[in-house]
Amino acid sequence: MGSLIGQGIVGIALPALLALVLNGLVLRSSALTESRKWPLIGLIVAGCFVFSYSVIVGGITFPPREATHWLPFIAVGAVVFGSILQFTGGIARSIVRLIAALATAWTVLQSQTFGRWPLLISVEWLVAVTLILFATSRLIERGGAARGTPTEILLGMALAAGFGGIALFLGGSVVLGQICGAFGLVLAGLTALTFFLPPAHLGPIIPLIYVLALGSLLLSGSLFSDLPWPTSGLLWIAPFGVLIGPPAMPLGKNRNVRLLLRGLIVLVVIGLALVALFLIVQPNSNEY
Amino acid sequence: MIVRFTLFATLLALTGITSAKADNYKIDPAHSAIIFKAVHLGVGNLYGRFDTFSGELVLDPNDSAKDSVKVEITTDSIDSNSAARDKDLKGPDFLNAKQFPTATFKSTAVKKVDDKDYEVTGDFTLRGITKPVTLAVQVIGTGPGPRGETRLGTESTVTLKRSDFDMKTFSQVVSEDIQLRIAVEAVKQ
């Protein structure tokens, strides 16, 4: 059992710590412009996600055969697509975002829907998930841009991913739960850093990684494990709790109070998600 | 005319003997079991079973090389005497039962060792991965059932490496080797 704890430290705590240090160095760097910092931070976040996945699952499967095998590729792909988004505009930007959302929806859904469910229902699912991923990444990006700093929306994402890990763990997949928990910790570290080293804007890369990675994790949990759909849905909308009300002032005590209140709104939605989980699947402690 | 008819009938009978049909047996789930054994934390043996499975055996009385075995296991029917653990075993961490609802074994060669023992080589497919395995099969007995049907009982064992089937997680808790024991009673069709 000791080595199981060791795996938790290497697979969850180490990538979170590594991301905290590296992201801190990038955010502090004066040699890098803001637009150069986010692709680097995106690479660090995705790299730590892949590292965590690799340790917890026991390696990366190539070529991927199952929906969850795609997770590391989705994280890295999100950095690539996010970087393209950062340097494009207009209709091209929407097309790139749509391709990223469609590719992610396809990788998760193709094994479970097409060939098993009626074609029309499968297509409906593909379209619905694509649109949700597309719209959410856009909303988070805009929400982050509308605030004085990206800290608020990052806090919402970190809380949703962290508690998503707990929900997945209790919903029947220890592996997905650990990966999601590690992702939440990485985002929590980034949130803390932006509190002390506030960047001017969030950019599209982190929201895209968050949306595609967490979306894949929650979808996999609900499709292949016992994570209830209402829990997934509530966790999905939870970060938007921080967007309620007028934008906070960039500095000052008032900002901290508002940040705390918005964090509480996110926690209430997450609490509802966990209540739904306990009411629907009544999880027991995982026993091996 | 009578001589001709007798000759024809004799030929027909002889043909029937030389091309005697292989016997088809169907697994009777009510008198069969598929159980597995894993070592837990390196300290104890943990047993579980699959409740739903089906299969058939084809036995050629004249040529054991023509024998064949086919077994299909419903992965969602795993039962390890703990509902919480079963949920995990059915999930994406282990069997991924929703994406891969069945595990199958199809023989490719049957080798007779002696009157009771056989080595059955075949393809075992789990989680969409197919690996060649060899089952050590022992014939327990054969005889009539309560309705006059012919029954055949066998017991087979095979040890699988779970990492061969992409189940690499929790190596500190669950052993790499999983022993599968398939005890079946099959009814001649």
Spatial CB neighbours of B10, under 8 Å, sequence gap ≥ 6: none
> B80-134, pLDDT tens digit by residue?
998 888 888 998 889 999 889 999 999 999 988 888 999 999 999 999 899 999 9
CB contacts under 8 A, B 59-98 vs A, are 82-85, 87-88, 90-93, 96, 98
- Alpha carbons B150 and A135: distance in angstroms, whole number: 64
Q: Which residues of A touch B (CB under 8 A)?
A: 1, 3-4, 7, 56-59, 61, 65-68, 111-112, 172-176, 220, 223-226, 283-288
Give me the residues paired with residue B136 across strands.
B119, B157
Judging by beta carbons within 10 Å of its beta carbon (0-12, 13-18, 19+), is residue A178 exposed, middle or buried? buried
Residues of A in contact with B83 (CB under 8 A): 284
Question: What type of residue is B160?
Answer: L
Residue A149: CA atoms inside 13 Å, Cβ hemisphere, count? 22
Taking the CA of residue B189 and the nearest CA in chain A, the distance in Å comes to 32
Cα A209-B97-B109 angle, rounded to 5 deg: 125
Segment 130-169 of chain B within 8 Å of chain A by CB? 163, 166, 168-169
Residue with tokens 């982190």: A206
A221 touches A67 (CB < 8 A) = no
Residues A77-133 have pLDDT tens digits of: 999 999 999 888 889 999 999 999 999 999 999 877 777 788 889 899 999 999 999
B56 to chain A nearest CA, in Å? 26
Partner residue opposite A65 with nearest CB, options B41, B128, B174: B128
What is residue B155's predicted lDDT score, i.e. its pLDDT?
Answer: 95
Chain A to chain B, count of Cβ pairs less than 8 Å apart? 77
pLDDT of residue B18: 46
- Residues B120 and B112: their CA atoms lie apart, in Å, by 9
Q: What is the DSSP string of A65-92?
A: -SGGGGHHHHHHHHHHHHHHHHT--HHH
The whole-angstrom distance between A65's CA and the closest CA on chain B is: 8
Cα–Cα dist A2/B90, whole Å: 25
pLDDT value, residue A67: 87
CB contacts of B87 in chain A (<8 Å) are 172, 225-226
Residues A266-284 pLDDT 10s: 899 999 999 998 888 866 5
Distance in angstroms (rounded) separating the CA atoms of residues B72 and B83:
23
ipTM of the complex, rounded to two decimals: 0.75
Residue A265's alpha-carbon distances to A132, A147, A279, in angstroms, are: 22, 17, 21
Identify which of A7, A56, A111 has the shortest CB distance to residue B99. A111
Ramachandran assignment for A201, one of left (phi > 0), alpha (psi -120 to 50 degrees), beta (any other): beta
Closest chain B C-alpha to A272 CA, distance in angstroms: 23
Taking CA atoms, B141 is separated from B60, B148, B163, in Å, by 17, 16, 35
Q: Using the beta-carbon criterion (under 8 Å), do A174 and B88 form an inter-chain contact?
A: yes
DSSP bridge partners of A166:
none
Of B99, B129, B172, the CB nearest to A224: B99
| HSE toward the beta carbon, residue A260, CA cutoff 13 A | 5
Cβ–Cβ of B173/A66 closer than 8 Å?
Answer: no
> How do the pLDDT tens digits run along chain A, 288 residues long?
456 677 778 889 999 999 999 999 999 988 888 888 999 999 999 999 999 999 998 889 888 888 899 999 999 999 999 999 988 888 999 999 999 999 999 999 987 777 778 888 989 999 999 999 999 999 888 876 666 568 888 989 999 999 999 999 988 788 999 999 999 999 999 999 988 887 777 889 999 999 999 999 999 999 888 899 999 999 999 988 887 766 655 555 666 777 788 888 889 999 999 999 888 886 655 555
Provide, rounded to the nearest whole percent, the portion of chain B with pLDDT above 70: 89
Interchain contact, A4 vs B172, CB within 8 Å: yes
A66–B169 CB contact, under 8 Å:
no
> What SS3 state is found at A150?
coil
Q: Using alpha carbons only, give the angle A268, A272, A275 rounded to the nearest 5 degrees.
A: 135
